[in-house]
Each structure stands twice: as C-alpha cells, then as structure tokens.
Amino acid sequence: MRRECKCHGVSGSCEMRTCWKAMPTFNKVGDILKDKFDGATEVKPLESSQLIPLNPQFKPHTDQDLVYLEASPDFCEPDKKTGSLGTHGRYCNKTSKAIDGCDLMCCGRGYNTRQVKVVERCKCKFQWCCSVRCKTCERLVDEHVCQ
C-alpha cells in the first residue's frame, strides 16, 4: 500500500489535504512478484522451525523475500506423476528470449527447423453489396520444433 494525497483549496492552494492508502497498479504488483519469484530461495526447515537456505552460498532470507520448500518439477521430460507431457515436439519461437523461445523451451536439447508452405487468403476486397473476394497466396514459413 502507498499513501496518496489530494489537495483542496482555491486554485489547488492545498489549504487542506486528504490522504488515503492506495493499492499500487496491477502491473506494479505483477512486476514486484516477478522480481521476487526470480530471486526466490529454496530453503529447508530446522528443528527450531527456522528456515535456512538449501545452498549455503546463498544469504539468509528476509521477511520480504520469497522462499520455497520444494523445487519445481522438471517439465522438459514427460512425467506421468505431474501430468507433464515434456517439450519434445513442441513448436518454439527462435527469436524469443521468453518462455516460448527455443533455447528455454527445448531445455538445451536443440530444435529442428523446417520450411512449410502456408496457404492463406490475401488481397481481399469488399464487393458491393455484401461479399468479400480474396485471392489465395502461398508463402514459405520456418517452423522450429524442439528435439
């Protein structure tokens, strides 16, 4: 929560101020959570109900940090227990650095590239009254598939 205020008075002279607590924007909350997720630390509990980092090279967490007790399952390979189908044979985006990118989605196994012919409607024109006429265009597209 953050404090927001509004001034009241003649021409915004701020003779009187009204303040309240306001939630940050949805995007701001999402950015904060993503940063915390990216910096989260795996911990293990001690008998004293204290949590310490699993990796001793990591600094102890604060009350503001995000921690987790179990690592996420490996979604790269099929796993019936978790319901994961793995990423073999999945289409990926060669130029993306995000989760749909071939480097990340293919889990370092690499990917195959093939050219496919795509047939689509193009150069469409509206015909008076009430119809649209299009030509058929073909183009070659690269598809990238995880190995």
Residue 15 DSSP one-character state: S
Residue-by-residue pLDDT tens, the chain, 147 positions: 899 999 888 877 888 899 999 999 999 999 999 999 988 999 998 888 889 898 888 888 888 999 999 888 888 999 998 888 999 999 999 999 988 999 999 999 999 999 999 999 999 999 988 899 999 999 999 999 999
H helical segments located in 85-130: 102-105
* DSSP reduced 3-state for 66: coil
pTM for the model: 0.54
First-to-last alpha carbon distance for the chain, in angstroms, is 46
Q: What angle do CA 10, 13, 19 make, to 5 degrees?
A: 110
